[in-house]
Chain A
Amino acid sequence: AQSVTQLGSHVSVSEGALVLLRCNYSSSVPPYLFWYVQYPNQGLQLLLKYTTGATLVKGINGFEAEFKKSETSFHLTKPSAHMSDAAEYFCAVTYSGAGSYQLTFGKGTKLSVIP
C-alpha cells in the first residue's frame, strides 16, 4: 500500500520568495509521483510527474520537484512566487507499472502568496 504525507496544510510566502511544498511518500514498490494544482472552484491540473529517469523533474509554471529515494521525498519548489501561484497543491503516488490506476493523494497544501 502507498501513502502520501504533505507537511503543512497552509503555507504562506511573499511574492518573489522561494516556494517549498513538502511531500513524503510511502510505497513498498518503486513509486510514480505527481504534483497537482487546484485553483479555486476548479479541477486538478497536473504540474509535473516523476516516473523513471532524471530525478529532477521540471513542470509547468516554473515549478520543479526532485525525487529523493533515500529520503522518500518529492518536494515541490519554485524559485520566485507569483500571485497567480496561490492555490492548493496535491502530491500523489502510484506504483510503477503498466496499468496502475490507484492514485493516492495527500491532503493538500494551500499556498498563499503575500504581495
Chain B
Amino acid sequence: DAGVIQSPRHEVTEMGQEVTLRCKPISGHNSLFWYRQTMMRGLELLIYFNNNVPIDDSGMPEDRFSAKMPNASFSTLKIQPSEPRDSAVYFCASSFGQGVSGNTIYFGEGSWLTVV
C-alpha cells in the first residue's frame, strides 16, 4: 500500500519566493497533520485537519504560512514569502479517526526545504 506521499522531496528556493509543499494522505485516512522539524525546535505540529476541516492551526508560525485541504486526498502547505529561517524538514502525516490517542499516525518522508 502507498504511504503518505509528499512532494517535492527537496526544494531550494530564494528568499521571498513562494513555496508550495504537497501531501497525499493514505487513502481512507481522515486526519492529516503538518509538522516542521528543525534542529533548534525539534518536531512541531503546524496544523491539524480532520475530515478536510482545519481543527487547530495554532502552530502555524505566522501569516506567511497557510495550509489547505480541498479534498480527502490532497493537502498543501504554502509559504509566501519564504525566509531563510523557514529552512526545515516539513512532514505530512495522516491517520484514521480523530486524533492520535488510539490511532497510529503515518508520516511521509518529508520535504526538505532550504531558503537561501
Q: Nearest residue in B to A6 (C-beta to C-beta)?
A: B42
Interface string of B53-70 (1 = CB under 8 A from A): 001100000000000000
Tell me whether A46 is interfacial, beta carbon within 8 Å.
Answer: yes
Q: CB-CB < 8 A to B98: which residues of A?
A: 98-99, 101
Interface residues on B, range: 20 to 34
Which of B13-21, B71-79, B80-88, B107-115 lies at the interface?
B107-115
A interface, over-half SS = loop
**Given A101-B56, A107-B42: A41 touches B99 (CB 8 Å cut-off):** no
Q: How far is the CA of A107 from the CA of B100 in the complex (A)?
A: 19
Binary contact readout A31-50 vs B (1 if CB under 8 angstroms, 0 otherwise): 01000000001111110010
A105 contact set on B, CB distance < 8 A: 42-43
Residues of B near A8 (CB, < 8 A) are none
List B residues 86-116 near A (Cβ within 8 Å): 91, 93, 98-102, 104-105, 107-110
The interface residues of chain B lying within 8 Å CB-to-CB of A43 are: 4, 91, 93, 107-110
- Tell me whether B91 and A98 are in contact (CB under 8 A): no
A residues in contact with B31, CB < 8 Å: 101
Chain A contacts with B in 56-115, Cβ cutoff 8 A:
90, 94-103, 105-108
22 A/B residue pairs, CB under 8 Å, sorted by A: A32-B101, A41-B110, A43-B4, A43-B91, A43-B110, A44-B91, A45-B107, A46-B105, A49-B104, A51-B101, A94-B100, A94-B101, A97-B101, A98-B99, A99-B98, A100-B99, A100-B101, A101-B33, A101-B98, A103-B105, A105-B43, A106-B42
Contacts from B to A (Cβ < 8 Å):
4, 31, 33, 42-43, 45, 48, 50, 55-56, 91, 93, 98-102, 104-105, 107-110
Q: Which residues of A contact B (CB under 8 A)?
A: 32, 41-46, 49, 51, 90, 94-103, 105-108
